[in-house]
Amino acid sequence: MTAVVAAVDLGATSGRVMVGHVGHNELSVRQVARFDNGPVRTPDGLHWNVQSLYSHALSGLRSAHHWDGAVASIGVDSWAVDYALIRGSRVLGEPFHYRDERTALGVARVHARVPFRELYARNGLQFLPFNTLYQLAAEGEELSRNTSALLVPDLIGFYLTGRQVAEVTNASTTGLFNVTTRQWDLDLMRTLGLSASLLPGLVEAGTRIGPILPHVADATGLAVTTPVIAVGSHDTASAVVGTPMVEPGGAYISCGTWGLVGVETEHPVLTDAAREANFTNEGGVDGRTRFLHNVMGLWLLSESMRTWERAGLAPDLERLLGEAAALTGPVPLFDANDPRFLAPGDMPARIGQWCEEHGVPTPGSPAEMTRSIIESLAEAFASAIHTAAELSGVRVNRIHVVGGGALNDLLCQRTADRAGLPVIAGPVEATAVGNVLVQGRTLGAISGTLESMRDLVRRTFAPRVFEPQGAWR
């Protein structure tokens, strides 16, 4: 049996609809729609245009039906932490963007009631000022008792089915999810003055949420019986499912706008050392834990590209990476995790400011800046890998790079060099692959553990291997 499914994959800079074919010895994905995604600034702050994303998703599902009329189910994944407020069935405006400045107020309000040490013991999350609980604390009067909150992939699922649920892997990023019990932390919510009815019921990846609504069937051409299946709705959770970590010892870097760097464990790591290293424990598919650190990722390069384009330079990325790779002299390293790099803006100027403050030369040309970004990311990735291994007890012997970063040869090679470990690059579409695999297992097209699904990935997607060169560490 081969199942044909549609994966709606919403990233922080673009979204896609993919058609996947999955069976015992078959796994493939094909993009049928791609669309831009980015923040929209209104008088009250920075927002996502989720209505536009939903419209594009419907159009993409219509294309999926056109390309392959046998689509048997739909799965949705997206970035984490951001949400829309809902009263009844009415959505109260567009979700705030996690890069909006309002979250600082929420951090102060939460930590005044619950110290970070106690939060970490409950939710296992590294400190990020935009985590959902900080955003909710900044809401104020909007949070009445008849208001609920839906994270972005659950919001799209609500638009498709009319049903409100919270899938576990994305729920685990909110800060209101107990990482040990894998349930909402109602005691913490009461302490923070949040109603227990704010968050919908939890479902695990693989749950059938419900059939699509009649008007969705009309808009897409899909059968009205087509189910929406909860997948690893946090895109990193789906990416980790789609990473060919068949044998013990594999670490992963899901590299796109962000670099999610870590290992998979059976249980959360809640030690003082993990908290002090600012590592996070997020829910994975099949009860696993994603023990990882968030690194700023290729956002540094894409935002620099936007700055150069506004200045009329309009550099070609492939040419720029080639020029960066050809540089033989040293370039400065900077702290890729510095908070100043979080907000949109002139990234080269901010990197230059960091260099000036720390007494290191500022990269001059775009090629030098690009090489500095790549080297700094590679060092941050390598450091996070070794720290993850030390804190978790996992003996890492190789690094899997998936997502868009798997196409960046310079970044993959420098990560291998600096970590002193081989890098296995691919699949690029690991998030969509993981989304498709969970749907396929729910439909009965495949069966077995995560490892058996990953073996199917290994057998169907040829990786590229980058061996470490030179004594970088």
Enzyme catalytic residues: 235
Q: How many residues does the chain have?
A: 473
d(CA 298, CA 50): 23
User: Which residues touch 285 (CB under 8 Å, ≥6 apart)?
Assistant: 169, 205, 206, 232, 237, 238, 240, 241, 434, 438, 450
317-326 and 366-392 helices, crossing angle to 10°: 80
d(CA 281, CA 287): 12
Q: Are strands 202-203 and 166-167 parallel, antiparallel or unpaired?
A: parallel
User: Which residues touch 357 (CB under 8 Å, ≥6 apart)?
Assistant: none
Six-digit token string for 406 = 């798997």
Q: Cα 211 to the chain's mean position, in Å?
A: 26
Nearest to 421 by CA among 450, 388, 454: 388
Q: φ and ψ at 377, to 5 degrees?
A: -65, -45
d(CA 447, CA 438): 10
Instruction: Give Cα separations from 265 to 127, 139, 167, 426, 457 (angstroms).
Output: 20, 34, 19, 21, 20
Six-digit token string for 152 = 């972005």
Instruction: Give Cα separations from 268 to 129, 134, 182, 274 (angstroms).
Output: 21, 22, 11, 10
Q: Give the H/E segment covering residue 466.
A: strand 464-466
Residue 355: CB atoms within 10 Å: 17
Q: Count how many Cα atoms sit within 13 Å of the Cα of residue 216 in the half-sphere of its side chain.
A: 25
